[in-house]
């Protein structure tokens, strides 16, 4: 099942780095439940030394209520810590918090001008820190308290910002040149069909050579479609009858 932050990603957006607060953050936040838990244990020891009676019973109920409250508060802090999602994508920095009611805040990489990282001695030892993301007007966009792997988070965020600005500054590729249309060569002129040999007389006898030449001319006309096969056969019969 995808996490809530994954459903907020747009098309083509990729997660580069993912983290949350350092594990010491919920420990520090749960200091009051821890104190209540320790006080309940101390009262439990005191309650065991009391004589049976109403004071002991009342103290026992109070200790039980304190234990339940402390455990519920500890569970809430821990689940809230697990619900945190601090992500760097190739387009923005995304911060998601909340157990049931979710709160998401994002900062576009192109709007980020700088990031201020503060680490005390414990932060350098356990690899966490406080990070402020700034705009060009030095206005804080978002604050990350006790961020786990804070130096790497800041470094990756600036790397992605540089990569995104490089994409914007690259020249747009020129459109491909359109090939010149290929023109078909003009059709070769077809020589006009030679007219059939003119017969000087309709009943004149012809020699064998004349008949042969006339038949060759008629066959050429037939092959080129100038005359039909029926016309060719009729002329052939006529020529053969003049031998």
Task: Indicate the DSSP class of residue 4.
Answer: G
Question: Pick from 22, 7, 16, 17: which is nearest to 147 by CA?
Answer: 22
| Residue-range domain boundaries for the chain | 208-240
pLDDT in tens, 35-77: 998 998 888 888 888 777 777 888 888 888 999 999 999 999 9
Q: Which of 62-71, 120-129, 188-197, 234-243 is predicted least confidently?
A: 188-197
Strands 140-148, 128-134: pairing kind? antiparallel
Distance of CA 12 to the CA centre of its chain: 2
Q: Where are the alpha helices (DSSP H) in 10-53?
A: 24-29, 31-48
pLDDT, tens digit (0-9, with 9 covering 90-100), for 96-132: 999 999 999 888 898 888 889 999 999 999 999 999 9
Distance (Å, rounded) from C-alpha 22 to C-alpha 149? 8
Q: Is 138 left (phi over 0), alpha (psi -120 to 50) or beta?
A: left
């Amino acid at each position: 099942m995808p996490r809530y932050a994954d459903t907020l990603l747009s098309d083509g957006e990729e997660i580069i780095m993912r983290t949350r607060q350092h594990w010491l953050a919920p420990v520090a936040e749960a200091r009051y439940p821890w104190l209540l838990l320790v006080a309940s244990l101390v009262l439990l020891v005191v309650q065991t030394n009391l004589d049976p009676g109403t004071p002991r019973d009342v103290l026992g109920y109070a200790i039980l209520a304190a234990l339940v409250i402390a455990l519920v508060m500890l569970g809430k802090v821990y689940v809230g810590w697990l619900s945190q999602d601090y992500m760097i994508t190739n387009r923005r920095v995304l911060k998601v918090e909340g157990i049931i009611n979710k709160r998401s805040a994002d900062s576009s990489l192109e709007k980020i001008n700088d990031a201020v990282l503060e680490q005390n001695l414990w932060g350098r030892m356990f690899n966490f820190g406080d990070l402020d993301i700034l705009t060009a007007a030095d206005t804080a966009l978002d604050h990350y308290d006790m961020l786990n792997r804070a130096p790497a988070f800041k470094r990756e965020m600036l790397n992605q910002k540089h990569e995104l600005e490089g994409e914007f500054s690259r020249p747009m590729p020129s459109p491909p040149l359109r090939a010149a249309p290929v023109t078909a060569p003009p059709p070769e002129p077809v020589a006009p069909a030679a007219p059939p040999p003119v017969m000087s007389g309709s009943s004149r006898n012809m020699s064998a050579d004349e008949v042969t030449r006339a038949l060759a001319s008629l066959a050429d006309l037939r092959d080129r479609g100038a005359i039909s096969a029926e016309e060719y056969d009729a002329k052939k019969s006529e020529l053969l009858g003049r031998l």
